[in-house]
Copies of this chain bind each other. A is one copy, B any other.
Amino acid sequence: MNRYLLSIDLGGTNTKIALFNSKLSLKAKTSFFTKKFFSNRDKLLSEIIKRSFALIDKNHIRHDQVLAMGIGVPGLVDFAKGKVYYLPNVPHWKNTPLKKVLEKRTRFKVFVDNDVNLMALAELRLGAAKKAKNAVCLTLGTGVGGGLILNGQLFRGSSYCSGEIGHIPLNIWGNKCSCGGRGCLETYVGNKIILSDAKKKLKIKNLTLERLSELYKKKNRIAIKIYNNFAENIGIALVGVVNVLNPDAIIIGGGLSFAGDFVFKKIKQVIRMRAMPVQSSCVKIYKTSLGRDSGLIGAAILARDNLKARNPH
């Protein structure tokens, strides 16, 4: 009997659902627009379940062939309880007992984790972090997400909320951050902030990230400066992480693509110039190698690994 893993990547924009076989080959995939369900958490939950069941049925899989379900969410999660603390970009999810709800309604074994943790897990097992002992994973998109691999394992921290690289303070007197802090990296970078900053500086009302990227390629000096600042701020936050954790790999993914290789190179340069020599010469900087499906792959790995483990970790 073939066995499958049901994998969900709940995103602030799209929610992806996939079936993997037990060897982690992708069998089938679907997705829907998350924002349609922003006003109602329970409708979003129902949509996830409905779409999952439809995908299973469509592929002629029986429910008893599904070993477990892994789900990644964009925010803070109590991994042991499978409870969502909160999701900064999806409203109404504060203190959602996600594992409990999904297990009750699907009858599958369910494991819940932070989405960037799952990307890190996927990169560790199958991607850029495969040979790394200690890796820092970073996604640059609406916000800045982080996941840590330490001593060859996903490191979650004492209440499963480690890796919040977007909330490293860069300026003691900086702007208020949504997290309650001040001057966090996320108050300087992230798609929205960059775009609103660029609109002001370039005096273009309907500016998009694509247009900004074109301006950059045409060597517009303001656009270059905006990308420079963006990369520098991320680089500086990573200098602190490199000096404190002394990792051998940094893996960067997410919306970076809109600036081509430039942002990536600039981040590298800041780390090389500013991190301590021993730590700097130890760390290699990679792009994600698994692309946009890394979260789905990670959720499948999470489900498979924790099903095996007596004590979930």
Contact = CB atoms under 8 A, between A and B. Distances in A.
A116 to B, nearest CB: 12
Nearest to A188: B172
Contacts of A170: 169, 171-172
Interface string A161-189: 11111011111100000011110000000
Contact of A167 (B237, B243, B282): B243
A184 to B, nearest CB: 8
Nearest to A76: B278
A278 B161 contact: yes
Interface in A224-251: 232-233, 236-237, 239-241, 243-248
A207 interface: no
Given A155-B150, A181-B274, A246 B172 contact: no
Interface string A259-292: 0000000000000011111110011000000000
A158 B181 contact: no
Residue with the highest number of chain B CB atoms closer than 10 Å, among A133, A245, A247, A279: A245
Contacts of A59: none
A85 interface: yes
Given A168-B243, A246-B160, A282-B159, A274 B76 contact: no
Interface in A48-106: 76, 85
Contact of A276 (B134, B164, B239, B275): B164
Contact of A168 (B133, B155, B244): B244
B276 A181 contact: yes
A151 interface: yes
B157 A245 contact: yes
B244 A146 contact: yes
A274 B155 contact: no
B245 A167 contact: no
Contact of A133 (B134, B158, B241, B278): B158
B244 A163 contact: yes
A155 B164 contact: no
Contacts of A157: 134, 245-247, 279, 282
Contacts of A245: 157, 162
A278 to B, nearest CB: 5
B282 A169 contact: no
A134 B247 CA distance: 17
Contacts of A171: 170-172
12 contacts: A158-B247, A159-B246, A159-B278, A159-B282, A161-B279, A163-B246, A164-B243, A164-B276, A164-B279, A168-B240, A170-B172, A244-B244
